[in-house]
Amino acid sequence: MSAILPPAQRLWWKEPVHSVELVWIVIAFVWCLVMFFMMPFWHIYGKQNLSAETYRTTPEMFSKKAQAMVDQYKVREETEQKIPVVKPPAGGDVYLIARLWQWWPILELEKGKTYRLHLTAMDYQHGFSLQPENINIQVLPGYEHVVNVTPNRAGSYAIICNEFCGIGHHTMVSRLYVK
Amino acid sequence: MATMALFRICPRTGLQFHKSAETLIKLNAVVAVVSLLVGGILALLITLTRWQAIHLVGAEQFYLLLTVHGLDMLAFWIIFFEIAVLYFCSSTLLKSRLATPRMAWLGFALMLIGAVTVNAAVFSGQATVMFTSYVPLPGHPAFYLGLILFAVGALIGCFVFLGTLVVAKAEKTYEGSIPLVTFGALTAAIIAIFTIASGAIILIPTFLWSTGYIKSIDPLMYRTIWWAFGHSSQQINVSAHIAVWYAIAAIVFGAKPMSERVSRTAFLLYILFLQLASAHHLLSDPGLSTEWKVFNTSYAMYLAVLASMIHGLTVPGAIEVAQREKGYTRGLFEWIRKAPWGNPVFSGMFISLVGFGFLGGISGVMMGTEQLNMLIHNTIYVPGHFHATVVIGTTLAFMALTYFLIPTLFQREVIMPGLAKWQPYLFGLGMAVFTLAMMGAGTLGVPRRHWDITFAGTMLPYEFPGTASLMLGIMGVAGVVAVIGGGLYVFLTVGSLLWGKRLEGGTYGTQGGVLRMPVATAITGHGGAGFAAPGTFVFALVFLTAFVLYYFVNWKYLSTVWGLS
């Protein structure tokens, strides 16, 4: 007659259910439905939804596109490594490479404008983590993920890596400017 | 062979142990505790490293230790203990001999060899790939091979459990249906088989890749299938520790399930829907459609969450009903005030239940929401969440059960009962603060699996807000408290086995008793009668309020970040 013994009633599935259980099941189920419909609701009315637009790519293909963007829109270089800072036209395609242990190049975007941000990894998996905004996206080798981003605040942001990618993982940090 | 089976009946609990099952339960539990000890020592070193002010070990060591910690805790401590729980719930609770003890020994040996191999591979420095071993990050082939051996061993254990159910049914050791606790264990075993199959599907090719037979493994395919193993194995834990909650409610209070139908249906929902949750880890990934993410991450329509919310009501509800029948009927809460808070079997179980629901459950649903996931993906919020589910939920429930098993299974008195009384509080509350601090830091963007968030020596460092360091400091202090609580558990368990007063355990005989229930005795009086558990219902509403508020606070936060489409 307890949970560690067989049910006392042989036909236990015919026993009446407690009213307290019934009421709770109804409340809980309604809440589950609310949470479920919140996701499609946000896709229709919300402004923060992760794009599913993805293409197959290779390091060579992607590097070429990123290099073309850098050649065309480079405005200056930063740090001893001479990482190019790129200011692409608003509304255009921007490319960001994740590799051991660097984000390349540095992007300079305009506030309120929408960009098509292309992300891929050259080697291992990486994690795009925009701080202090705290937007986090997985970056996989072989996949080119196109995310439409609209910066809503000017300032200097950091992109850190939040997917473990080997011994230098914690040194993989870069900048992103919004003017 | 069957007639040669030896049984003893514990004179204190009336539980009947089959000798082969008893030895295997003991061995699995002991190996589990040893894994916990190793994992716990590493936990201390890791906590003291992420506590940025102390920053104890170097980067290479940190990543290596973190890999071992994840495996020893999440895989080895928990699954060895779960095999013990499975054998207990089948052989002991059904008063049956264990099916094919030799196969069970083989399973145990494979698990042990696998666990040792994995530890050796990582400690040698050749498989610092984290618990998840995401391709194409390379690990030594021995690492994958060890995991495969361990998984095969665990799979054998699951089939021995199922075989024992068949034996018990065929030999009529019980009448009617299996007990609810065994049903919960069955749920865990079914999920385990799905889980291990998924593990095999991805780990075998990955092993071949690591040895050079396969050229490449698609990283997204790896993540999708690996998480059917990685996440589902946490669902085994959920099913197992909820079965343990029901068992402890029955052992301590003589509580019977409020309604068998509701509790069993909730377990059934787990079997049907829990495994969809590998999607939780892929919400911020490229290459998967939004519809796929929304459907899977919500377990269809949060039907597994519904099941957990049901158990969250029916376990304390069953305790309330039992206590009220004993006369603790004053007000809404006398039943809980007068509960045996000094008994670690109960206090551990209750802290596990509350911590799992409030900390693990709510945070889990928030981060499993398709869009909200972007706010915490791969931040330290994630380990914050799963330390609440797997450490406060599963580990503490198993610790609580241990205090019951030491006298009945190991026939020893628990040493230093005064200390044992405090252990669940020290561990549970330390862990609660630890997880909250991690979630706080994660909300501020602090990444998980990261050696140095000050980015010292880099050319473009980022400075996290001061609150983040404060959170990591709180995490460090609470982590040390929790490690002391965990260490106390290992000490009390091992100490009781070595030096605890021997207890009369009953003599072995070949005659196994039969579990005959007075079938359909007088209607037991509850079920449908009135509002039987008002106090629990109030708790449930408090829980729901916290849940709803926290859920929408995060949507509010999401609405302020950059536009994404």
Here the ipTM equals 0.96
Task: List the single residue in B246, B251, B378 with the smallest CB-CB distance to A127.
Answer: B378
Asked if residue B195 has pLDDT above 80, the reply is yes
Q: What is the pLDDT of residues B29-50, one digit of tens each?
A: 999 999 999 999 999 999 999 9
Which pLDDT score, from 0 to 100, does residue B63 have? 98
pLDDT, residue B511, reads 62
Three-state SS at B563: strand
Q: What pLDDT band is residue B514 in, cutting at 50, 70 and 90? A: low
Residue A120 has which token pair? 């891929």
Confidence of residue B218 (pLDDT cuts 50, 70, 90): very high
Q: Report chain B residues whose CB lies below 8 A from the CB of A38.
A: 369, 555
The C-alpha of B41 sits at a distance from chain A's nearest C-alpha, in angstroms, of 22
Amino acid (1-letter code) at residue B146: G
Least confident stretch, B10-19, B326-335, B445-454, B503-512? B503-512
Structural domains in chain A (count): 1
* Distance separating alpha carbons of residues A99 and A76, to the nearest angstrom: 21
Instruction: Tell me the average pLDDT across B196-205.
Output: 93
pLDDT tens per residue, range B286-304: 999 999 999 999 988 899 9
Q: How far is CA B301 from the centre of its chain?
A: 23
Chain A residue nearest residue B521, CA to CA: A8
Residue A22 in domain: no
| 8 Å CB contact between B329 and B362 | no
Flag if B564 and A51 touch (Cβ within 8 Å).
yes
Interval B417-459: pLDDT, tens: 999 999 999 999 999 999 999 999 999 999 999 999 999 999 9
Residues 6+ apart with CB under 8 A from B131: B67, B70, B71, B74, B75, B230
Question: In this complex, which of B285, B451, B562 lies closest to A151 when CB atoms are compared?
Answer: B562
CB pairs under 8 A between A and B: 336
Residues in chain B: 565
The pLDDT of residue A127 is above 70: yes
Q: Is the dihedral of CA B239, B240, B245, B248 positive or negative?
A: positive
User: Which CATH number applies to B23-253: 3.40.1160.10, 1.20.210.10, 1.20.120.1810, 3.30.420.40?
Assistant: 1.20.210.10
Question: How does residue B527 score in pLDDT terms, banded at 50, 70 and 90?
Answer: very low
Per the CB < 8 A criterion, the answer to whether B430 and B481 are in contact is yes
Query: Is A127 a member of any domain?
Result: yes
User: H or E segment at A127?
Assistant: strand A126-131
Using an 8 Å CB-CB cutoff, list chain A residues near B302. Answer: 32-33, 35-36
By residue range, what is the domain housing residue A63? 54-178
- CA B192 – CA B173 distance, rounded (Å): 25
Q: Note which residues in 210-249 of chain B have CB less than 8 A from chain A.
A: 218-220, 223, 246-247, 249
Tell me the chain A residues in contact with residue B59 when contact means C-beta distances shorter than 8 Å.
167, 170
Whether residue A132 has a cis bond before it, omega within 30° of 0: yes
**pLDDT of residue B154 exceeding 50:** yes
For chain A, report the end-to-end CA distance as a whole number of angstroms: 70
Structure token digits, residue B476: 């460090």
- Say whether pLDDT at B518 is over 80: no
Q: Do B376 and A136 touch (CB under 8 A)?
A: yes
B residues 449-468 lying closer than 8 A (beta carbon) to A: 449-453, 455, 457-462, 464-465
Q: Which of B460, B462, B565 sits opposite A49 (nearest CB)?
A: B565
pLDDT at B515: 59
Mean pLDDT of B338-362: 97
Q: A40 vs chain B: nearest CA distance in angstroms?
A: 8
Q: Nearest chain A Cα to B562, which residue?
A: A151
Average confidence (pLDDT) over B155-177: 95
Residue with tokens 């949970």: A3
**Cβ(A119)–Cβ(A144) under 8 Å?**
yes
Give chain A positions within 8 Å (CB) of B543.
none
Residue in B179, B259, B282 closest to A18 by CB: B259
pLDDT given for residue B345 in this prediction: 97
Question: Buried (b) or exposed (e) across B168-181, using 16+ Cβ within 10 A?
Answer: beebebbebbbbbb
In b/e form, how buried is each residue of B117-154, taking b as 16+ CB within 10 angstroms? bbbebbeeebbbbbbbbbbbbbbbbbbbbbbbbbbbbb
Cβ-nearest to A39 among B93, B285, B370:
B370
Do residues A21 and B258 lie in contact, with contact meaning Cβ atoms separated by under 8 Å?
yes
Residue B408 near residue B414, CB atoms below 8 Å: no
- DSSP conformation letters of B115-181: HHHHHHHHHTTS---TTT--TTS---HHHHHHHHHHHHHHHHHHHHHHHHHHHHHHTT-B-SSPPHH
Reading the block at residue A179, the tokens are 């003017």
Q: How far is B181 from chain A (nearest CA, A)?
A: 6
Q: Which of residues 416-445 of B touch A (CB under 8 A)?
A: 443-445
The 3-state secondary structure of B303-353, one letter per residue: HHHHHHHHHHHHHHHHHHHHHHHCCCCCCCCHHHHCCCCCCHHHHHHHHHH
What average pLDDT is seen over chain B? 93
pLDDT above 50 (res A117): yes
- The amino acid occupying position B175 is E
Confidence of residue B467 (pLDDT cuts 50, 70, 90): very high
Mean pLDDT of chain A: 95
Q: Which residue has the higher pLDDT, B507 or B146?
A: B146
Q: Does A44 touch chain B (CB under 8 A)?
A: no
Asked, for residue A12, whether it belongs to a domain, the answer is no
Distance from C-alpha of B523 to C-alpha of B527, rounded to nearest angstrom: 9
Closest CB from B178, B459, B547 relative to A79: B459
Alpha carbon A113 to its chain centroid, in Å, reads 19
Distance of alpha carbon B73 from alpha carbon B35, whole angstroms: 7
Indicate which CATH number applies to the domain containing A165: 2.60.40.420
- Predicted local distance difference test score (pLDDT) of residue B523: 39
Position B512 confidence tier, pLDDT thresholds 50, 70, 90? low
- Reply yes or no on whether the pLDDT at B2 is more than 50: no
At B43, which helix (H) or strand (E)? helix B19-50
Q: At what angle do helices B180-210 and B78-87 cross, to 10 degrees?
A: 140
- Residue B286 to residue A145, Cβ atoms within 8 A: yes
Task: Sort out which chain A residues have CB atoms less than 8 A from B534's CB and list them.
Answer: 20
The beta-carbon neighbor of B294 closest among A39, A114, A139 is A39
pLDDT tens for each residue of B84-124:
999 999 999 999 999 999 999 999 999 999 999 999 999 99
Q: Which of residues 73-112 of B touch A (CB under 8 A)?
A: 93
Alpha-carbon distance of A47 to A43, in angstroms, equals 8
Query: Can you tell me the distance from the alpha carbon of B185 to that of B167, in angstroms, rounded to the nearest whole number?
Result: 16
Cα angle B150-B153-B159, degrees, rounded to a multiple of 5: 145
Q: Which helix (H) or strand (E) holds A33?
A: helix A19-45
Look at the alpha carbons of B183, B185, B189, B195 in this order and tell me if their dihedral is positive or negative.
positive
The three-class DSSP label of residue B430 is helix
Section A41-65 average pLDDT: 97
Alpha carbon distance A63, A104 (integer Å): 10
- Could you tell me if B92 and B144 are in contact, meaning their C-beta atoms sit under 8 angstroms apart? no
